[in-house]
Structure 1
Amino acid sequence: MKSVQPTLTIHTQDRGQELGDLFGIFFEDLNHAADGGLYAELVRNRSFEFDPIDRAEYHALTAWEKIERGGGKAEIAVEDGFPLNPRNPHYVVIDIQSEGDGVGIMNLGFNSGIPVKRGETYLFSVYARREASFDEPVVVTIEGTDGSVHGEATIMVQSSEWTKYEAKLTAIDTDFSSRLVMVTKGKGKFYLDMVSLFPEKTFLNRPNGMREDIAALIADLKPKFMRFPGGCLIHDGSLNPDDRDSMYRWKNTLGDLAQRPARRNNWSYNQTLGLGYYEYFLFCEDIGAKPIPILPAGYNPHHKLIVPINELQPWIDDAFDLIEFANGDPSTEWGGIRTKLGHPEPFGLEYIGIGNEEVGEPFFERYAYFHKAIKEKYPDIQIINSSGPFAAGSEYDRGWKSARENKSDFVDEHYYQTPEWFLANYHRYDDFKAEDPKVFLGEYASWGNTYYNALVEAAFMTGLEKNAHAVGLACYAPMLCNVDYINWKPDMIWFNNHEVYGTANYYVQKLFMHHQGDQLLPIEANGFEEKQEIKAKPINGAFALGTDRCSFRFWDMKVVNNDTGETRELHGGSSAELSDTDEDRLNGTSIQTLELGESDWSNYTLSLKAQRMSGPKGFNLYFGKRDANNQLYWDFGGWQNQDSALCSSVNGRTSVLTQSIFNVESDKQYELTLEVSGRRIRAYIDNVLINDTEDKLPVIEPLYYSASYERSTGDVIVKVINVQENSVGAEIALTDLQQTSLTVEVYEMSGHALDDENTFESPERVSPKQKEFRTEGSGFQYDFPKHSITVFRVK
């Protein structure tokens, strides 16, 4: 019997679901994404506001050093008695003891130093005043670590009042490890604040602008939207907007740079807020991305800080004012403020998010007030609700319940998982209902920046496209990482102080953004081999316990075969203690893990009793353990002692399968039960079911694919991903086309080892190749290489 030719049939005239603003980007200031990154300021700690509240080792002179030349002597201090601005109170005082050849101060910049390129101009500015010697120049230089001068300018500080001075320096050498130096002679005290150095060439030459190379790489993506400014930094802070460690309050980020307060960033560094809301809106406009700002809702889930309901109105007013700032006529209060900043035209805000991956009833109680008020005043604004940081569980369900009850426009889903999880959950959104709120997949990534990660993400993204009835917005996260200040990885774009590159994941995102299309087209697969289903392995193997910074005791540990009733005692039937406190570590008695035994059963119940003697969180119960990199575990009292989660580790990478809120109390005895049946897992605390999930295994499709129509060009776009170890040949058939011949542009990523990554040395090692061909008729044959990502644009 003749085999059927494998065929992908695209119905080109059967226009379906709108794809809208599906693929965009997410900016969060972590990994020094803003200061020392996208924000082009080259001076670190420019206003002497670094503080231990930001990071334990920070102080007001972090990144600064005293300069004494040719016998000069000076004392340097930081004061706040006569500030330039009360919101930015600190400034440096250089007390000249002996002038010598000059005394002053030097800034070390970010990374290896301040990068300058030969022939390029840099804009220096400073607020300064001095007590005496008004005729003595202040010499401003960009210097190498060997003292060589790369650029020089002179300013005259001729007032005892704060005055802004500006100068231009043109570099005569290229040096990525320079220093900014300010030196003067004379006598008396010399005061400095807001010391700044910007490249004259910023992105689109905007003042106070973006670093050109990073911004250009972002702009090249052509994202439909940008979500900003976070992230957990939205809600992690105090409730008072004037506090140094307040929640992120957008109004603090507007106006004169000198009066924007410094802020503790919850990723353990300082935020200058030089990149503020006005700059975010401008950047969105510059790159053609719709802005999606995210606001706090008066609840900090990290530290349980809660605004009383009767005090919530000012927070709601902040949302009103933001919408007016973005969209209001210049005659309105906040539209007028935008106009004074230089932008009389509205920014055209369409979306607003309330909260970031929130958990806990206090948030959802408050969300309802925001939603009702915003919809009444601004009915056309689309509001985004939250569903927590995990792909399933009680908080995820709570978020969706809130969204349905309030008729939210979107629900923000977040998950970072293994590549295997993404393949196993390819059909995640198939059964979501079109009448429900739409999904905003606001943060997602597989763990890694290899080609394999990008390949799997591309396969998953075709599923997002095909489920456009349910998924409205999606953005990979995080976007930016400075290699010398890593808080989190993977990341889409990596940079140092003078270089930048896009990862393999970046190029997948770029392909999908450039070739998204406007409407889905039906696509059918016929004649392909069956899906490659991995045989459902039982979850069996070793059992173990582990803890971190806690002390626990365990007893009555046993496992029962649910099929036969056979019972085995674990740990030899004896009780056990695990201790990993600081005191234990100091005296060398720390015990972090404890092996309990193993089983080859596939249907069993494990039970034990546990009690915490000391410590801030809980412990892990490992099961189905093959080795340290391949196992499942129950995270009992995880993160900030807020979770009960079931997790799966594959090749050293972990997926949180489901999560519920739970808090472990010291000295309380807990009865814990874990039921495993096939791939189904249930966890009980004191006989109450708290977690229920299935650890799905990947089912490999013969090909992953989607098709769309683009209105502006009339092009038909077809994406095909082959994750298999072998090539797959297929006929691409396009129905109902009038042309007798076709021009087909092809963008393909293939021929890469699965562990290939881009680097500074090879920034485009993993990136698409482009070609074009013509074909007679309304179809063509194509051989999809193993591990390939292919995009056809049929002209």
Structure 2
Amino acid sequence: MPKNRARLIGAVAVLVSLPLAVAPPVAASAVEPDYTIKVSPDATGAKISKSMYGVFFEDINYAADGGLYAELVRNRSFEFNATDASGFTGLTAWTVDGSATVVNDDQRLNERNRNYLALNGSVTNAGYNSGIAVQKSDLYDFSVWARGSATLKITLTGAAPLTITTSGDAWRKYTGTLRGTATTDRGRLSVASSAPVKIDEVSLFPRDTYKGRRNGLRADLAEKIAALHPGFVRFPGGCLVNTGSMYPYDAANNYPRARSYQWKDTVGPVETRATNKNFWGYNASYGLGYYEYFQFAEDLGAMPLPVLPALVTGCGQNRATVDEALLRKYIQDTLDLIEFANGPVTSTWGKVRAEMGHPKPFGLTTVAIGNEENLPEEYFANFVKFEDAIKAKYPSITVVSNSGPDDQGGTFENLWAKNKANGSDMVDEHYYNSPAWFLQNNDRYDSYDRNGPKVFLGEYASLDAKFANSLAEAAYMTGLERNADVVKMASYAPLLANIDNVQWKPDMIWFDNDESWGSTSYQMQKLFMNNVGDQVVPSTVSGGGVITPKPVTGAIGLSTWRTAATYDDVKVTRPDGTVLFSDDFSDGNADGWTPVANRGTWTVANGGYAQTTTDTEDTMVKAATITDTDYDYTLTATKQAGAEGFLVAFGIQQTGNFYWWNLGGWNNTQGAVEKGITSAKEQLLTKPNTVTTGQTYHLKIQVRGTKVTLFLDGVEWGSFDDNAVTEPFAQVVTTDAKTGELIVKVVNAQDKAAVTKIDLGGRKVAGSARMTVLAGDPGEQNTRTAEPIQPVTSTIRGVSSSFTREFPANSVTFLRIRTR
């Protein structure tokens, strides 16, 4: 922050680095402070919602089956299919000794549970990860549906065996209990039959689930979530909400294998729930369904926030379903969900809830319609129809709209304008950006309309899993709290990741089959979520400095994404025309180009440089490191075949940072400029765009320091200036009425300590305070083997209405100061 520039802030946050020793108070007269925090003596700021911070659960990274859902048997109902993932079959995770055949005929368990196993011998299940985790002396509840007469011998590694006798030619559920005799994380469950028998829904649950629930949740994961004290639980997604076929289960037509998430598929007895292809590339059993989500939110004392599809796909698919009858069905399904959650036991869906074990209403207050739709016209037309129907029947329900998948751009601006004009209750924003972005945008919500729709920041994270990322998130969160009158809810995402099955990272909580650990961002979120307060106290900070941006320099590159394309006439020149690099590939080779990643097939053909595969992503090659700060990068590009367009990279650094101009992205519907940070990207500019196969496009990227202007066929396509300054020091102050404390939250996201004067506005306060610090090397991560970033809490002395402290480098500090 520029010296002597003050800004209203609502809490203090500082980034601390090693060592973790608590610094003593610094005498005010001994050291000139780097920063001064002044707390308003009497003014009060925004009230903070009880649901300010929550969690977002999406079944990504095997977060449900094999994760939070405590079922230990993988593919328990033999429903896996090649549609779910390449190589999946009805016997995935099972090995056979003897004869075992997956059958789908009219003797099935029920119309939604299509497959069963005709067994004459034994089958063994490997569970998830390396095997089934068994703990000595713990109890495990086994069940199986069987048809036929036989003796089943059930064995579990590290447990006493169990024998079950089946009889009769009708499906019947059989149960038993196994007790662990040894501890292992590589267990196997076997079912051996003395005679031919049909079996289905082979299940094994630890008795020790969260809150002891049957069909319950894995205790250690649920307890880590509970320790956050979330104000809400958003579920079930995410991308899986509105991707895949929008058409529902249809027994007559062997219902589609890749349906969007539909809540009615997920309630009732688990053996009647229809499994489905998960958007993230595996099978979802729906054993963890809407009833279990509501129950979990209730157990946490959190507000449930279900997200329902709006019949417009998102997450890169970008399709709208034009079927009025289907739209009416989805709207009715939404009304039925509210009845399921809140209706009396005499209502149709309230009765279903009661039969599942919860006659008391869940008290649903908020629903969200849609997720990251990138077709604003189609999405919003549908949203208004949902909203009208919900408000007509349930006027007190808050209905959440959204602003697309990005923090800016055409879709974002269009949807925000529509939501403002509509008077929408709340708008869901999503973004995943670099640490620098979060440090540059602390004031994002300062200028939002106080009378417009409220903001739900449903998904956000800094793009990596190091402590530096958590510090940047913490600095940003001080801005969320300062603007608590606008930002009513926020949730880091994703929540969970199975270490052996990762589709997205970073993630908050990691696990394998028997252990779990919190990332550095988990520790940061926990610190904020357990110290929210109930009202902001206006404050200002002055002093310090900023980190200025660097010009866009580095190598140039070419790339494709599931597309074959040809590039030619590549040239980099200074503004005066001096050539810095040129390659027209007329000599038949591409000697100056090297792969950034060994993907795709690059070849020189017909006087151009072609990438010829159509099923490969991120096929970047690079050349010519440009050190000039002002230059023009020109070339031609032609799409030959495939799903998207082409990607032209510039400013490529050895660290993996780069920019690229993405034309014809998102299944050839959007163009963008993206900034790559390690393995992820943030979007700097987006707009609708389509690339025509066979057409040659003339591209020009004009770089002038930090400003970049893009030309498509001689016409300016867009521009951006990556010139935001980074402010490494942030703070906010809140009050906790229950304890009578001020909570001063300070983030110091720089490699030097920050001596800071704290002026509490003349308040009389206790002479000591409780201080909690998260500090460490910004490159540290918490892993399965070591979790170095942990909070350290201590009592400090020397607190007064005006005192000075030194906040360590790369640290976050929370001071809870009792007022008199």
TM-score (normalised: structure 2) = 0.88
Unaligned runs of 5+ in 2: 1-28, 250-255, 587-606
Query: Which residue in the other structure is 1:713 paired with?
Result: 739
For 1:492 and 1:597, locate their aligned partners in 2 and report how far apart those are by CA, in whole Å.
36
Q: How many residues align?
A: 757
Q: Which residue of structure 2 lines up, in the alignment, with residue 193 of structure 1?
A: 200
The one of 39, 45, 58 equivalent to 1:10 is: 39
| Alpha-carbon distance in 2 for matches of 1:689, 1:320 | 47
After TM superposition, the structure 1 = structure 2 runs for residues 648-667 of structure 1, keeping only pairs within 5 Å, are: 648-650=675-677, 654-667=681-694
TM-superposed CA distance for 1:776, in Å, is: 6.0
1:274-330 alpha-carbon deviations (Å, 9 max, x no partner): 000010000001111111110001122416251334642111111111122222233
Cα offset for 1:4? 6.3
Matched, 1:267 2:280: yes
RMSD: 2.5
CA pair 94-387 structure 1, distance change in 2 beyond 3 A: same
Query: Residues of 1 paired with 2:584 and 2:155: CA distance?
Result: 73
1:767 paired with 2:796, answer no
Q: Distance in 2 between matches of 1:380 and 1:216?
A: 32
Query: 1:339: Cα distance to partner?
Result: 2.1
Q: Is 1:168 matched with 2:198?
A: no
Which of 208, 225, 231 matches 2:232? 225
Q: 1:109 to 1:630 in 2, by over 3 A?
A: closer
Seen in structure 2, the aligned counterparts of structure 1 residues 653 and 359 have a Cα distance that, compared at 3 Å, is closer
Q: Measure the CA separation in 1 of the matches of 2:173 and 2:677.
A: 57
Q: Which residue, out of 320, 333, 353, partners 1:338?
A: 353
Taking a change above 3 Å as real, the CA distance of residues 653 and 247 of structure 1, as seen in their structure-2 partners, is closer
- Select 1:781's aligned residue among 804, 813, 816: 804
Aligned residue for 2:541, secondary structure, equals strand
Counterpart of 1:396 (choices 399, 412, 430) is: 412
Which stretch of the first structure deviates more once superposed, 229-238 or 780-789? 780-789
Partner of 1:98: none
Aligned in 2, Cα 1:163/1:352: closer, same or farther, shift over 3 Å? same
In structure 1, distance between residues paired with 2:236 and 2:70: 17
Counterpart residue number, 1:252 = 265
The answer for unaligned runs of 5 or more in structure 1 is 68-72, 96-102, 144-148
2:11 equivalent in structure 1 = none
The equivalent residue for 2:125 is 107
Query: What residue is the counterpart of 1:405 in the other structure?
Result: 421
Query: In the alignment, is the contact (CA less than 8 A) between 1:371 and 1:406 conserved in 2?
Result: no
SS at match of 1:545: strand
How far 1:766 sits from its partner (Å)? Answer: 0.7
Can you list the C-alpha shifts for 1:479-519, whole angstroms capped at 9, x where unaligned?
10001111111110000000000011001000110011111
Distance 1:486 1:600 in 2: 39
In 2, the alpha carbon distance for the partners of 1:709 and 1:730 equals 20
**Map of 1:180-579 to 2, 5 A cutoff?**
180-185=189-194, 187=195, 189-242=196-249, 243-301=256-314, 302=317, 304-309=319-324, 311-360=326-375, 361-526=377-542, 528-529=543-544, 531-534=545-548, 536-555=549-568, 566=577, 568=579, 571-572=582-583, 577-579=608-610
SS in 2 for 1:756: coil
Q: Is the 8 A contact 1:571 1:595 kept in 2?
A: no
Alignment of structure 1 residues 557-706 onto 2, 5 Å: 566=577, 568=579, 571-572=582-583, 577-582=608-613, 593=621, 595=623, 598=626, 600-602=628-630, 605-627=632-654, 629-650=656-677, 654-686=681-713, 689-701=716-728, 703-706=729-732
SS in 1 for 2:37: strand
Q: How far off its partner does 1:209 sit?
A: 0.5
Q: Distance in 2 between matches of 1:572 and 1:168?
A: 71
Change (3 A) 1:546 1:628: farther
CA distance in 1, matches of 2:492, 2:571: 43
From the superposition, tell whether residues 114 and 633 of structure 1 become closer, same or farther in structure 2 (CA, over 3 Å).
same
CA distance, structure 2, for counterparts of residue 256 and residue 119 of structure 1: 29
Separation (CA, whole Å) in 2 of partners of 1:365 and 1:555: 43
CA offsets, 1:114-135, max 9 Å, x none? 11100000000110021xxx4x
Aligned to 1:100: none
Q: Which of 722, 728, 733 matches 2:754?
A: 728
Task: Tell me if 1:150 matches 2:168.
Answer: no
Separation in 1 of the partners of 2:677 and 2:135? 45
Deviation of residue 747 (structure 1)? 0.8
TM-score, length of structure 1 as denominator length: 0.90
Do the aligned partners of 2:310 and 2:383 also contact (CA within 8 Å) in 1? yes
Structure 1 window deviating more from structure 2 (363-372 vs 28-37): it is 363-372
What letter corresponds to residue 210 of structure 2 in structure 1? F
SS at match of 2:92: coil
Q: Deviations over 1:318-375 (max 9, x none)?
A: 1111122222233332223222222222222222111111101322221121122222
Looking at structure 2, the residues matched to 224 and 232 of structure 1 have their Cα atoms a distance apart, in angstroms, of: 22
2:565·2:612 contact (CA, 8 Å) conserved in 1? Answer: no
Residues 690-699 or 438-447, more deviating: 690-699
CA displacement 1:690-721 (0-9 Å, x = unmatched): 443332344234x3100111222222111001
Query: For each residue in 1:243-296, what CA deviation from the matched residue of structure 2 results, as whole angstroms up to 9, or x when unmatched?
Result: 321110001100110100011001110000000001000000111111111000
SS at match of 1:237: coil
Aligned equivalent of 1:177: 186
8 Å contact 1:121–1:168 — kept in the other structure?
yes
Q: Which of 110, 133, 143 lines up with 1:85 in the alignment?
A: 110
Cα distance in structure 1, aligned partners of 2:262 and 2:681: 34
Q: Tell me which amino acid in the other structure corresponds to 2:302.
A: A
Partner of 2:48: 19
Query: Per the alignment, in what secondary structure is the counterpart of residue 571 of structure 1?
Result: strand
User: Cα deviations across residues 128-158 of structure 1 (Å, max 9, x unaligned)?
Assistant: 021xxx4x53211102xxxxx5221111102
Q: Does the C-alpha gap of structure 1 residues 74 and 379 become closer, same or farther in structure 2, counting only changes over 3 Å?
A: closer
379-388 vs 691-700, which moves further? 691-700
Task: Note if contact 1:12-1:709 (Cα within 8 Å) is conserved in structure 2.
Answer: no
3-state SS of 1:23 partner: coil
Contact 1:561 1:601 in 2 (8 A): no
Change (3 A) 1:775 1:572: closer
Contact conserved, 2:62 with 2:498, CA < 8 A, in 1?
yes
In the TM superposition, what is the alpha-carbon distance from 1:556 to its structure 2 partner?
5.7
Q: 1:558 Cα shift?
A: 5.2
Contact 1:618 1:636 in 2 (8 A): yes
Is the CA contact 1:85–1:259 (under 8 Å) kept in the aligned structure 2? yes
**Structure 1 counterpart of 2:803, one-letter code:** F
Residue in structure 2 matching 1:52, options 72, 78, 82: 82
Q: Is contact 2:235-2:306 (8 Å) kept?
A: yes
Cα distance in structure 2, aligned partners of 1:200 and 1:584: 45
Structure of higher RCO (CA pairs closer than 8 Å, 6+ residues apart): 2
Q: Structure 1's 670 and 580: CA in aligned 2 closer, same or farther, altered over 3 A?
A: closer
- Could you give the per-residue CA deviations for residues 179-227 of structure 1, whole angstroms, max 9, x where no partner exists? 1111132x4x211000100000100001100000000000000011111
Amino acid at match of 1:359: N
- Shift in CA distance, 540/305, structure 1 to aligned 2, threshold 3 Å: same
| Aligned partners of 1:54 and 1:265 also within 8 Å | yes
